[in-house]
A and B are shown apart, each in its own frame.
Chain A
């Protein structure tokens, strides 16, 4: 096990534990305002200080971790659940009209960055965390579809697939029995990377107000609130920023570590 894997897994587990802990306990109630106690520097009664309403920043980070992880996890789930079958299908029908349609469809979605999708959805349905999930999720679909197809195509050229076809197995059965197990490692590694990108995207969407709405805590909105305070109370901007940075760094290191551990030849896509 590499150093990457240990540090990455450590950071990821830390944030997941913080998020899980927030369901049963946080140091303070984040909905209770305490204006006299506002903008406290870290280190006092509030370990990471307080914001402009006097709310405990550590508690908000814990609740925000929950939002970030939930949004990113579901979005990656959507991307995998739709993208992997599409990619398998395109590879199984390589060169057909269906393959062409799937790939062109993917290209088209790539022309809509998740921010643009979020803008469209928000303009019509209003802002919410669900928007963020859908917007990031839609964008993940072509990522997984392309990656799956790209990894499956060379496998389809291998003799063991031909042997399976000689044994009368259908394309669907071959995809599940022979292709899928051979791309699992790649999907795990890419899934970790997409998870980290999902955290970043969620933060960006909440920062500009297209993601989770109050009173749901989110790291991106904590930063938006901190923007005008950054010169008087830098910790209000530094703490959530470092939370995002460490969580994303942890997931990326975990992805790299998993790759080295599972199969160093894996090539991940990072967009």
Chain B
């Protein structure tokens, strides 16, 4: 088990390293002179020089890369050119919208998908299965940001149960959660549709396995065999999808924030793109990728908890 975890940890570190290289290369190397790029064509030479100095562009690429990574490790993300404040501050203000939104959506999606998938698999071919599968077919096809607009139209504009957008801050946690509810539903339902389909097909695969027949020969009912033997085995492919979905929820959240005017990382990144504030873009992207890689690492550890065969392997 420890060897397995160490192995995954090594690959986590390598992934982070390569990811940081890629991001750094795209942002700071490809544009040629990032300072001139950020300031645009009409910039004065002395402003460019000032920015060059501030970004440390007179140093070699390698020094700059290590400077950036060391900074990241110490929580120093650099200084935003447009906001004139440390990027770390900008991010820490906004991450408490984006991260809770993604987690909220993940919980919702799992809570909907697991029962739906298990129910459909246990009643394969029956009316319940057909209904659920039809609903997931729609859920998979629906664009989440459009779904969000429809939710606003129905629940905010017509029924007035929720506000159409904005975020009141975490001073009042209930209000904060309420304002994240519509966005989380918009994010979660399409993902839940995918997850329910995966859960169902994984369970059906398991129900065809020999060990289910063995369990039935022991005297377990169909339902007992499903719950005691199929579900845990079916979780292995489902965990993979949950891990991948987290990155979609995080990225999808950036889009949904636009629909609900939420002050999250999405808003920050789009403002930075239009202001050509590469330093902010670089850090936010690195943060997103970092989160995804960490979540996948956690999923790998969860595999080992579910499957004893993995614990034995390196």
Contact = CB atoms under 8 A, between A and B. Distances in A.
Given A124-B31, A252-B140, A116 B285 contact: yes
B198 A234 contact: no
Given A123-B278, A207-B255, A244 B146 contact: yes
B281 interface: yes
Given A113-B251, A116-B289, A237 B143 contact: no
Interface string A82-122: 00000000000000000000001001101111011001111
Given A108-B18, A111-B293, A119-B269, A223 B145 contact: yes
Interface stretch (B83-91, B170-178, B241-249): B241-249
Given A110-B247, A267-B201, A204 B145 contact: yes
Given A113-B247, A115-B254, A267-B201, A230 B157 contact: yes
Contacts of A231: 153, 157
Interface string B266-278: 1001101100101
A80 interface: no
A241 B157 CA distance: 18
Contacts of A271: 194, 241, 244-245, 248
Nearest to A241: B146
Contacts, number: 133
A33 B27 CA distance: 39
B27 A124 contact: yes
A267 B201 CA distance: 9
Interface in B1-47: 11, 14-15, 18-19, 22-23, 26-27, 30-31, 37
A153 interface: no
Interface string B229-243: 000000000000100
Contacts of A270: 140, 194, 197-198
A213 B219 CA distance: 64
Interface of A: 104, 107-108, 110-113, 115-116, 119-124, 196, 200, 203-204, 207-209, 223, 226-227, 230-231, 234, 237, 240-241, 244-246, 248-249, 252-253, 267, 270-271
Given A208-B258, A230-B152, 19 more contacts: A108-B18, A108-B22, A110-B296, A113-B248, A115-B254, A116-B285, A119-B281, A120-B23, A120-B281, A123-B273, A123-B281, A204-B143, A204-B145, A204-B252, A237-B150, A241-B146, A241-B149, A241-B150, A252-B141
Interface of B: 11, 14-15, 18-19, 22-23, 26-27, 30-31, 37, 137-138, 140-146, 149-150, 152-153, 157, 194, 197-198, 201, 241, 244-245, 247-248, 250-252, 254-255, 258-259, 266, 269-270, 272-273, 276, 278, 281, 285, 288-289, 292-293, 296
The 5 closest A-B pairs by CB, nearest first: A248-B141, A249-B141, A241-B146, A113-B251, A115-B251
